[in-house]
A and B are shown apart, each in its own frame.
Chain A
Amino acid sequence: MPERSKTDLLSVRNLKIEATSYPPGEPPKTVTLVEGVNFDVKKGKVIGLIGESGAGKSTIGLTALAYGRGGVRITGGEVLLDGQDLLKLDHAGIRKVRGAKVCYVAQSAAAAFNPAHRLGEQVIEASLRHGIMNRAEAEKRALHLFEVLGLPNPETFGQRYPHQVSGGQLQRAMTAMALCPNPELIVFDEPTTALDVTTQIDVLAAIKHAIEETHTAAIYITHDLAVVAQITDDILVLRHGKMVEYGTVKQIIEAPTQDYTRALVNVRGTGREEATDQSDTLLKVENITAGYSNGFKVLQNVSLHLPKGQTLAIVGESGSGKSTLARVITGLLPPQEGTVTFDGKPLPPALRGRKNEELRRIQMIYQMADTAMNPRQTVRNIVGRPLTFYFGMHGRQKTERVRELLDQIEMGERFLDRYPAELSGGQKQRVAIARALAAKPDLILCDEPTSALDPLVAEGILKLLLKLQEETHVSYMFITHDIAIVRAIADSVAVMHRGRLVRFGPKSKVLSPPFDDYTDLLLKSVPEMEIGWLEKVLKTRRMESAGN
């Protein structure tokens, strides 16, 4: 165990965290979430905690505030802040630390801000309540922080309510809220995960600038190694609540010693050659304009096409109309103008007008497999339903086919009688794929099927989709905001921005110069697993804007 040195602000020793779980029909049992974790944060330095969901990152991060979410209890070890063990403090003592010496930035600032109060009030609340500053000082500091973080109209920003500003601005406001009382340490819990890449880079830069300027130490939690490489000095890799590897950024990225870390570093390595045969068109979308009842047009004049057996990736940030396009193709949202042609025949615009056979040939996979499956049906019923519905299968024949499908998604028949709640996130998404495959579709619309999954699990799903495409010759329309995924699986690419098609064509053409402005911005915003990438991008941006 390393010795605590004088420059260490926070030292975590032998941390053990437990929770009580209540399995139905069994007595409650104690589960160990985190065990044997040691790390140090030096004054003014940043440590990254990285790992997949369930690795205990957030749980460990929150121990710096002596806080356990839900029934989580810190049962062993020491959390020393300036030499004082937080775990030995009483409730009043802990309250003096929280919001004063240690502050927290949550993953979803949209949920973490109180909708009933103005942003400014919330930003300065902790400083006032802890008696760190008077109101005038706190407001002055808040204004300064709004400026440092690059928020628009910093003078009046505090007057606004959380719902009046965008997600990226909220995330920066939350950082301001954490920095306001001049804390010694800030815990950032996946602060950019919920943002678009183009927004993420701005927020990352703002956070980095702000912690450098205020010399605050930080714990930065994320599942994205490329992000953590831009902002931290040290990295702690976690898996299943245990330490996998702990070292400097340089060592972890350039010379990882553990297999798991190596897998994380190489996760974006997959790629494939695009198919060039454009002759046999399956789906053709022409001049689609669509919107909702308030008159706002979500899609404007979108035209694209997709050959049989190939993959078309639709890229864009949230609000760009990607999912709406999928809704138009499935018939859930009849377009105001334009036509959808499928296998040479025009599709009726509304779902109600389509025949069973037309419905069968287009299937869908959703981002949240959780909400797309009935929690009270077994895997057998979930996958079997389309078999009965489209092919009239029953009894043994149906069970046989469900087994085949489960084999295809590499899960096997032991999952037949499981409920969705008994499956992991990746397994749920596989069952959703099997359900889509059961209809023997020609086209599967995949709406961000991997964005809620951990990188390694997501990679497995992508490989499965590619394998199934080879076996069944199905076409995919793959909606994503992740350029790495596009590189890995697409044949052609459509870039969307604010409801318009910005760029469309074969992958090699779309992803190589000359670029239009938006595609350029999008491509340059994707974090790369390279130290100093963020500075480089920001520098080019500055130079470009100076040149303009």
Chain B
Amino acid sequence: MPGGPAQDQGRAITEAAGANPQLSGQAGSDTTTQSLPAASPNDQGSFSPWGSFSRNSPLAALILQRLALSVALLFAVSLMIFGGVEALPGDFATTYLGQSATPQAVENIRKDLGLDQPATTRYFTWLGGALQGDFGTSWASRNSVSEQIGKRLGNSLFLAFFAAIISIPLAIGLGMLAVQFRDRLVDKVINVFSLAAISLPEFFVGYLLILFFAVQMGVATFPATVYDGMDFTQRLSAIALPTATLVLVVLAHMMRMTRAAILNVMSSAYVETAELKGLSGLRIIARHAAPNAVAPVINVIALNLAYLVVGVVVVEVVFVYPGMGQYMVDAVTVRDMPVVQACGLIFAAFYIFLNMTADILAIVANPRLRHPR
């Protein structure tokens, strides 16, 4: 409807409009409820079961669509990872053998690793294994990739989890604070601080923190290496600095989006209505503004969560933290393809899963889709 919440609800609304263009421009007449196309599958040219399903329960249809898209996307990504690794210059055998790379020795190793088989055969073998959770054997260490990754992934998630539970509430809280004091000192300080944090490269933030807290003040541990024998508190103190770095890096993005989304809603007519009802400032933000600002905020949170798992390579390397990122970088340097492929696929899966979750949450948060006419 004109002036409705379309802008606020991001892509979910676009979907709704796409599914039913009749939604818009019908505000004028008292009789539209009866004349809506919901009752018209009979006089429709291209009747299909899916069409009537998506009309009757658009919410379920959109969620199913998202799920199917995610699976398709994951397959496409697996193809691209495999193709990309194939296309990489250099070769494990020559790197591994170094000076002693006689043609015969290279040939032997290639045969040993199954590289003499055609690429399609190898792709399907790999994909079949991956579907069952078996990513093969590392060429360099001769260990099971799944086992190695299991440990590393645990470390990465441990770090990401703490960064997330600190940064998300902090970002939303600061965003609301910035709205409450918009264009005043508090807002400006928050803005400048967050802009600075987002502008500095993460390795630089990391080294700054190391310089101050580990070298000069000596209160934090560096390197942030964790190992099997450590207890929980030791681990926590080890990851303090990388967590702080990650929080600084992701905070600004989420906080600025929260601020923008709520501000956008605060200028809408229904917030004015709430104000003219004599409601308190807090109730207006919490009950009338926030529910309409969740969709864009959820999307940004999901992107940043994905970054915390997938994008931490640099931070892990800086802090010598034994996570997935560092494992993947090591594997790339020695051309350990099974490890590179496995890491790539897991990263992609996380990314797609988190974005899909955000999409679905945004769809569910939209009353137009939850309660079709």
Contacts and interface: CB of A to CB of B under 8 A. Distances in A.
B147 interface: no
Contacts of A126: 277-279
Interface stretch (A110-118, A381-389, A424-432): A110-118
A69 interface: yes
Contacts of A67: 275-276
Interface residues on A, range: 35 or more
B368 to A, nearest CB: 5
Given A112-B269, A166-B30, A194-B27, A294 B278 contact: no
Nearest to B40: A296
Interface stretch (A99-107, A226-234, A269-277): A99-107
A384 B37 CA distance: 43
A167 interface: yes
A292 B273 CA distance: 35
27 contacts: A65-B276, A94-B278, A95-B279, A98-B275, A108-B3, A110-B3, A111-B1, A111-B268, A112-B270, A112-B273, A115-B4, A115-B270, A115-B292, A116-B288, A116-B292, A117-B287, A117-B291, A129-B279, A163-B23, A163-B373, A168-B28, A194-B27, A195-B28, A292-B22, A294-B21, A295-B47, A296-B44
B272 interface: yes
Contacts of B41: 295
Contacts of A98: 275-278
Contacts of B27: 110, 166-167, 170, 194, 318
A125 B31 contact: no
A110 B2 contact: yes
B273 A113 contact: yes
Given A295-B46, A296-B22, A161 B30 contact: no
B278 A169 contact: no
Interface in B26-48: 26-33, 35, 37, 40-41, 43-47
Given A116-B5, A294-B20, 8 more contacts: A98-B275, A111-B270, A115-B367, A129-B279, A163-B23, A166-B32, A167-B29, A295-B45
Interface of A: 65, 67, 69, 94-100, 103-104, 106, 108, 110-117, 125-126, 129-130, 160-161, 163-170, 194-196, 198-199, 202, 292-297, 317-319, 336, 498
Contacts of B46: 295
Contacts of A199: 28-30
Contacts of B287: 117
The 6 A-B pairs of least Cβ separation, nearest first, read: A318-B28, A295-B44, A99-B277, A98-B278, A111-B3, A167-B27
A21 B297 CA distance: 33
Contacts of B45: 295, 336
B103 interface: no
B33 A104 contact: no
A164 B367 CA distance: 10
B30 A202 contact: yes
B280 interface: yes
Nearest to B291: A116
Contacts of B109: none
Given A115-B292, A196-B28, A296-B37, A104 B278 contact: no
Contacts of B114: none
Interface in B260-293: 268-270, 272-280, 283, 287-288, 291-292
A99 B276 CA distance: 6
A94 B279 CA distance: 10
B371 interface: yes
B25 interface: yes
A318 B43 contact: no
Contacts of A111: 1-4, 268-270
A498 B31 CA distance: 10
A117 B272 CA distance: 15
Interface in B168-214: none
Given A96-B278, A108-B3, A318 B367 contact: no
Contact of B279 (A69, A125, A165, A194): A125
Nearest to B277: A99
Given A99-B279, A108-B269, A295-B45, A114 B29 contact: no
A94 B31 CA distance: 39
Contacts of B288: 114, 116
B292 A106 contact: no
A259 B361 CA distance: 59
Contact of A319 (B29, B44, B269): B29
Given A110-B1, A112-B269, A166 B29 contact: yes
